[in-house]
């Protein structure tokens, strides 16, 4: 149990690789906060974490609304008291058009979720847990879907 008594946040933890990461952390002894836009898959992942014998918290978080990143971190700290690991995994594909055809709304939404969301989560976790404790790990995921 490499992560015994550690607390991890996995954004985009309801589906795909985020879910796999969250469950792997639980198998290694971590308590896990999963976040994302849709509550049902988050609850499913949280239930699987608890079935593995660990504590969990599912928090709906829309990075197009920056305050929700603050609230998510506050909820995690209220339940667990610390955050040892942050995995910034949330991401959307965004516009599939060329830059010449892209509209600014789609561009801004993609950046808000894929970049600003990761920055907000990192800043909050650093300020409220990792820097004061002088301990922690942040993992930033990206996609190979870029063109």
Q: How far apart are the C-alpha atoms of 21 and 71, rounded to whole Å?
A: 22
The pTM for the full model equals 0.91
According to CATH, the topology of domain 7-140 is Rossmann fold (3.40.50)
- Structure confidence by residue, pLDDT tens digits, 6-41: 999 999 999 999 999 999 999 999 999 999 999 999
- Structure confidence by residue, pLDDT tens digits, 36-87: 999 999 999 999 999 999 999 999 999 888 899 999 999 999 999 999 999 9
Q: Report the helix count and the strand count for the chain, using DSSP H and E.
A: 6, 5
Boundaries of every domain in the chain: 7-140
């Amino acid at each position: 149990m490499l992560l015994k008594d550690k607390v991890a946040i996995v954004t985009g933890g309801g589906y795909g690789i985020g879910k796999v990461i969250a469950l792997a952390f639980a198998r290694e002894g971590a308590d896990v906060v999963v976040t994302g836009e849709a509550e049902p898959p988050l609850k499913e992942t949280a239930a699987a974490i608890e079935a593995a014998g660990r504590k969990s918290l599912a928090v709906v978080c829309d990075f197009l609304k920056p305050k929700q990143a603050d609230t998510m971190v506050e909820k995690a700290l209220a339940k667990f008291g610390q955050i040892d690991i942050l995995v910034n995994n949330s991401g959307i594909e965004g516009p599939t058009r060329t830059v010449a055809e892209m509209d600014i709304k789609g561009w801004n939404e993609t950046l808000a979720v894929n970049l600003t969301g990761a920055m907000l989560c990192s800043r909050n976790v650093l300020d409220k847990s990792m820097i004061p404790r002088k301990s922690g790990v942040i993992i930033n995921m990206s996609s190979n879907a870029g063109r």
